[in-house]
Amino acid sequence: MSDPLREPRIAIIGAGMSGICLGALLLRAGIRDVVLLEKNQDLGGTWRDNSYPGIACDVPSRFYQFTFALNPDWTHRYSPGAEIHAYFEKVARDTGVADRVRFGTTVVETRWTGAAWSVTTDDGVSAEYDFVVSATGILHHPRYPNIEGLDSFAGPAFHSARWDHSVDLSDKRVGLIGTGSTGVQILSALAGNVDRLLLFQRTPHWVMQLANPEFRPITRRLHRRFPAYDRFSYHAARKQIESLSPALLHPGKTRRFLTWLCRRQLNKIVDPELRAKLTPDSQPMCRRLIISPGYYDAIQDPTVELVTDRIERITPTGVVTDGVEHPVDVLVLATGFDAHAYVRPMRLVGPGGLTLEHAWADGPRAYRTVAVPGFPNFFMLMGPNSPVGNYALTAIAETQANYVLDWVQRWRRGEFTTAEPTAEATDRYYREVDAALPDTVWATGCDSWYLGQNGKPELFPWAPEQHKVMLAQPRDDEFHIVAG
């Protein structure tokens, strides 16, 4: 008779997209002692926090979902944010994950005791777990601009991820700071629907105008009626994106065609002066390529004004650029996130008192995007150098979650007690990363949120499908393993 499986205690920090994914896979595998520690009062992560006008996913809906929970009822090619949030809530309910979330619970410290992880939350309660997985995401700490006088503004002022829906913008002069994906979506939604919209642009971005058609009711019925067709649509969408990724990352005809196409679409801007202001000095995809069905139309609306002069300061009544004050009633900060915070500000303390801050003194590093030397039975989802550039994060999360599940299943069978990647294997991986990055579009010379503190992109320098191959199964020769 075989020995019974051990039952692991698992803490997942965060109940956003990736936390829901791992929780669902663990429960589907029969692992029941699972808790998700969520600092907010609702799940959904990025799609919970961001509810600004115009929010939508820039990855096709058929691909932006989990393979184990395909949704036949997407309404558009690129889904609106509320619909995506509802999808993740449904997945959490249907899989039982929602019943295992502790809301309003902030993890302040995770400390290795010698045999397990002791996780302490802000209510002073500590509990021990055999595995801890960080699923805190990469776009959840809003970045506020360091502009003189920002706190002095007398009207409503808020970050795009903290949208104040109580403010009626219809008769307001709105100042919008930021021209990344969020700024583009907000401007496209507000143009013509407010009294005046001033867009303060520091850096222009490449925008690809792609239509966002609505899926007809008959299409949704076909997807519901024939699950095989729904699965085919998922894999077709994935295959299409993955077939383009290598060609877009590296020099060649496809990347040159993308550049030509982006420049051609800029010709939608009739005014040559405005067109010049909207023309980036970098290559498309060096920064995240923005997908929008109508940005170039919206920015030419008579109610919109583009301001490219440097912002000097904010006054109680407006924004000053080069000595000129632009009066605004509402200030919206579409200034992005700290994409390199990862588990911070949580304190992570491993064996011997090693802290994550010390381990990452020279910048965040993770073995194959999922684990850190010196921290046994600790894993990360969306860790450093994950392939997050213009790709479906759901697919990345599912790959990483399946990798974590492989380790947990081995622990259940008594194959080991603790496992952590070796420093040598991690260093070797980063030598390969560093050798491959200069050949990618992200290293062609631009300032983007991809760049870490060392000036290098914290991205996966190969085709995204290689990430799945790389994490297909654990490699014991690259881990310190203590037998069970």
Tell me the C-alpha distance between 245 and 255, whole Å: 10
Tell me the C-alpha distance between 107 and 113, whole Å: 16
Tell me the C-alpha distance between 56 and 458, whole Å: 24
pLDDT at 452: 74
Span 428-456, average pLDDT: 85
Span 352-378, average pLDDT: 95
First to last CA, the chain: 19
Task: Please state, for a pLDDT cut of 90, what percent of the chain lies above it.
Answer: 82
| Both tokens assigned to 51 | 């509810």
* Residue with more model confidence, 38 or 443: 38
> Could you tell me the pLDDT band of residue 454, with boundaries at 50, 70 and 90?
confident
Judge contact between 303 and 196, C-beta under 8 A. yes
Q: What is the pLDDT of residues 61-93, one digit of tens each?
A: 999 999 999 999 999 999 999 999 999 999 999
- Answer whether CATH 3.50.50.60 is correct for domain 150-214+251-333: yes
Looking at every residue in the chain, the average pLDDT score rounds to 93
pLDDT at 445: 80
- Exposure on the CB side of residue 255, measured as CA atoms within 13 A: 18
* Residue with more model confidence, 479 or 246: 479
**Nearest 5°: phi and psi at 162?**
-130, 45
Q: What is the pLDDT of residues 253-269, one digit of tens each?
A: 888 999 999 999 999 99
Tell me the C-alpha distance between 183 and 307, whole Å: 14
Tell me the C-alpha distance between 373 and 118, whole Å: 18
Cβ atoms < 10 Å from Cβ of 79: 26
| Both tokens assigned to 275 | 């067109």
* Residue with more model confidence, 141 or 400: 400
Spell out the domain ranges in the chain.
10-141+338-482, 150-214+251-333
Cβ atoms < 10 Å from Cβ of 256: 11
Which residue is it, tokens 């790959």? Answer: 399
pLDDT at 340: 66
* Residue with more model confidence, 351 or 288: 351
pLDDT at 424: 98
* pTM for the structure as a whole: 0.95
> Could you tell me the pLDDT band of residue 187, with boundaries at 50, 70 and 90?
very high
pLDDT at 2: 59
Task: Please state, for a pLDDT cut of 70, what percent of the chain lies above it.
Answer: 99
Q: Which fold has domain 10-141+338-482?
A: FAD/NAD(P)-binding domain (3.50.50)
Longest dimension (CA), the chain: 82
The single-letter code of the amino acid at 2 is S
Judge contact between 356 and 348, C-beta under 8 A. yes
pLDDT at 47: 95
Residue 115 has pLDDT above 80, yes or no: yes
pLDDT at 341: 65
Residue 478 has pLDDT above 60, yes or no: yes
Distances (CA, A) of 412 to 26, 97, 244, 407, 415: 12, 20, 39, 9, 8
pLDDT at 251: 83
* Residue with more model confidence, 168 or 464: 168
Four-CA torsion 65, 68, 74, 77, nearest 10 degrees: 40
pLDDT at 387: 86
Q: What is the pLDDT of residues 270-325, one digit of tens each?
A: 999 999 999 999 988 888 899 999 999 999 999 999 999 999 999 999 999 999 99
3-state SS record for the chain: CCCCCCCCCEEEECCCHHHHHHHHHHHHCCCCCEEEECCCCCCCCHHHHCCCCCCECCCCCCCCCCCCCCCCCCCECCCEHHHHHHHHHHHHHHHCHHHHEECCCCEEEEEECCCCEEEEECCCCEEEECEEEECCCCCCCECCCCCCCHHHCCCCEEEHHHCCCCCCCCCCEEEEECCCHHHHHHHHHHCCCCCEEEEECCCCCCEEECCCCECCHHHHHHHHHCHHHHHHHHHHHHHHHHHHHHHHHCCCHHHHHHHHHHHHHHCCCCCHHHHHHCCCCCCCCCCCCEEECCHHHHCCCCCEEEECCCEEEEECCEEEECCEEEECCEEEECCCECCCCCCCCCEEECHHHCEHHHHCCCCCCCECCCECCCCCCEEECCCCCCCCCCCCHHHHHHHHHHHHHHHHHHHHCCCCCEEEECHHHHHHHHHHHHHHHHHCHHHCCCCCCCECCCCCECCCCCCHHHHHHHCCCCCHHHEEEECC
Pick the closest to residue 49 from 136, 116, 128 (CA basis): 136
